[in-house]
Structure 1
């Protein structure tokens, strides 16, 4: 596999060649390597001019030093395995856009330099990435949380006269762009940063809301991942937002709520239905989703719930892509390489089913008043609490 051609050097610092990386990424996750980073690599191979990526480790974990060192432009294998268009597939694709790895804890000055000259920022800092100490502010040191680190970097960019930045957070937080912008605004105000900077950050920079979806089921060393064929990066359109690449998995959408509802009600809710049946029938403790829906009785039961209780609400709401998404979900459930155990899905079952069935009930009240959901109502009221 040929290496991606690197851009021309931008100079030297302490004897080290310096290149411009138009995209700076916060987070070293396997998910990003098999998701956004792979899409960027595909786009660059297709001749799209968006530039390579510098990756910043925000956590300071020494355990990821080997992974960080692998971000040097080498092809990182992404083993794609699962069901696609009704057929079993197994192929290796390559992420080639990651050309630098930096630690925020060890190389803050260089992170700041790269950030000031970047065109776009991308992040996926994990489930706790937006969490921060109460009333956190920034000072001369390296901040603790990712939102505080980002605020300090944005302030450095503003002071250097840098142009406004477009930011693409992909953390699994509803309206992640709006939420992250709000966190950074609060940090800036508590830290006494200039009003002109706060206004620039809020009105000149662009904070994209997005939703990501792909099951990344395994790790390759020192970097790379095992992933299912299905992949989605839905980005909500807004004024002044320019998405820097085109790719089959990157989908600009008018309303991210539509995509969120599809995922919640046609992927997550059927998972909860299967968990309910698994608990109620006392099925084998190590049973997987693939094995369970291979049971004709279970498959017919789940199909009936989806076709008579869930899909009619989408139809009434004018969401025409729901049947196609349903077919994709059931194909994903049959992935022969993925052992998704019901014991994992049944964790915190009571809370999850209440949230998911409650969301469908609210959608039905809006789009299909009077629509009946007898099986889902029985699941909601069953009293089965699942595992904890």
Structure 2
């Protein structure tokens, strides 16, 4: 990846001198869809924290549709908390970028114009706080990933010892964390007598709205008890369920998109045709007409959130860890092996009894659609990408189902093998003895445990199960310890491919 996406060289374009921007929209080929509205008349009403590929493939597209329908005051200002890459790529493009929707039938290209400006939080934190505190900002949405909330995934509480939280308490005017920015801006609005914005988390957290509300209130209480009481009473934190598969954009993706456009787009987004967004309808400060863009507004998103976490995300993680160990670079490649496809389906089927869905929900049909989506040959969704930050993902994706199945007296063999895959993966060495680039907030701790126990399942599994931020009290359950240790023993003895095969045979 180029260190300066704004200057990334793109081959195959018709004219390398042209860069996607407001000024060059008219040069696009006729078949390329572009914003069907006057962007100069749009004003921002949403600030989005964590403006990565996922947001630009999903929420920003919904807002783009609504702007095309006549809305003018719901434009987006996107903020990156750490990396300047997105800002550096999109600023020369006036915030414009290409959405490339890929399927076996081909690729459809669309220019999205809902992002009006971008900021880099760490470069000008005070400027972002002011933007959030501006009464024109009525919604602050987030896709900062699970680790971006500085919390303990097993409990859902704020991690008061997190370095960013410690910094933000000492430097409230120049925060680093998403939580710190939210509270700094809300405190300013409270002092000014301005109404608070709505906080809209779109991340894969269990009960994401309730969880983020708790984390924000806990952080605020460390600053001021009265501020915490005001936030608890006045700020809305609706929960959401967001579903769209968005692989990491590659150099080849940029080249292909730029070739189709006839000009350079340094930061396109690649995704699948399927998209779904379910949102609890609690927006005291107002909201766009989400329903007009296909968003499903509900009073309680919990069952849909559990469905996605325990069917889609759980099977995705299982395929990621075991598939990576088996040598599959992508999810689609793993799905070409019928043993792995069957295992992914079994993860979903084992999760189904733990779900309480509204009447009429067809879990079998949803599972079948997931298998089809995972098999999309046009999406290069790397197992390594999905395997990132497993310590933050396991509690809601796999462990919650295991806990419920144990409560119901049901076996947990399927999910135990998936957890064993994670354990084998985080040792940092694959089945061929090659180093794995483990990206995880607890990577150093997990590696130290693996080095102290060695590759011996009877020592490694119990040691990892004692990592309280991941497993909590569940890690002490003898039924879970036995099942996971047995699965890891099989994984070490047979390798991922054979372990999955014997699992199916059993």
TM-score normalised by structure 1 residue count: 0.75
Q: How does 1:78-157 map to 2 (within 5 A)?
A: 78-82=99-103, 88-104=105-121, 105-106=123-124, 108-109=126-127, 112-113=130-131, 115-117=133-135, 118-131=137-150, 132-134=164-166, 136-137=168-169, 139=171, 141-157=173-189
Q: Distance in 1 between matches of 2:338 and 2:132?
A: 56
Q: How does 1:302-321 map to 2 (within 5 A)?
A: 305=346, 309=350, 311=352, 320-321=361-362
1:288: how far off? Answer: 4.0
Alignment partner of 1:203 is 2:254: no
Aligned to 2:38: 5
8 Å Cα contact 2:172/2:180 also seen in 1: no
8 Å Cα contact 1:22/1:119 also seen in 2: yes
Q: What do residues 121-170 of structure 1 show as CA deviations (whole Å, max 9, x unaligned)?
A: 11223443222333742557412222112211112222222223212122
Q: What do residues 189-230 of structure 1 show as CA deviations (whole Å, max 9, x unaligned)?
A: 33347x2x4433221221122232322224344333111222
Q: Distance in 1 between matches of 2:387 and 2:44?
A: 43
Aligned to 2:219: 187
SS class of match (2:169):
coil
8 Å Cα contact 2:413/2:487 also seen in 1: no
1:67/1:378 CA distance change after superposition, 3 Å: closer
Alignment partner of 1:72 is 2:104: no
Q: How does 1:328-343 map to 2 (within 5 A)?
A: 328-340=369-381
**What RMSD in Å do the two structures reach over aligned CA positions?**
4.0
Q: Structure 2: any 5+ residue segments left out of the alignment?
A: 1-33, 151-163, 255-264, 419-482, 497-506
Q: What do residues 40-74 of structure 1 show as CA deviations (whole Å, max 9, x unaligned)?
A: 10121123455211223332x4444413514735x
1:4: how far off? Answer: 3.5
8 Å Cα contact 1:72/1:101 also seen in 2: no
Equivalent residue for 2:487, pick from 377, 382, 386: 382
Q: How does 1:1-388 map to 2 (within 5 A)?
A: 1-2=34-35, 4-6=37-39, 20-48=43-71, 50-59=73-82, 61-70=83-92, 72=94, 75-82=96-103, 88-104=105-121, 105-106=123-124, 108-109=126-127, 112-113=130-131, 115-117=133-135, 118-131=137-150, 132-134=164-166, 136-137=168-169, 139=171, 141-192=173-224, 195=226, 197-219=227-249, 220=254, 221-238=265-282, 243-244=287-288, 245-246=290-291, 250-271=295-316, 274=319, 285-286=327-328, 288-296=330-338, 299=341, 305=346, 309=350, 311=352, 320-340=361-381, 358-364=399-405, 381-383=486-488, 384=491
Q: What do residues 13-52 of structure 1 show as CA deviations (whole Å, max 9, x unaligned)?
A: xxxxxx8421122222122111111111012112345521
Q: What do residues 213-267 of structure 1 show as CA deviations (whole Å, max 9, x unaligned)?
A: 3222243443331112222323234585865322555333444332233223322
- More off after superposition, 154-163 vs 263-272: 263-272
1:336: how far off? Answer: 0.9
- More off after superposition, 248-257 vs 322-331: 248-257
Q: Distance in 2 between matches of 1:202 and 1:52?
A: 27
Aligned to 1:15: none
Q: Point out the structure with the larger strand share.
A: 1
SS class of match (1:144):
coil
8 Å Cα contact 1:213/1:232 also seen in 2: yes
- More off after superposition, 371-380 vs 324-333: 371-380
1:164/1:46 CA distance change after superposition, 3 Å: same
SS class of match (1:215):
coil
1:72/1:266 CA distance change after superposition, 3 Å: same
TM-score normalised by structure 2 residue count: 0.60
1:49/1:328 CA distance change after superposition, 3 Å: farther
Aligned to 1:14: none
SS class of match (1:217):
coil
1:307/1:52 CA distance change after superposition, 3 Å: closer
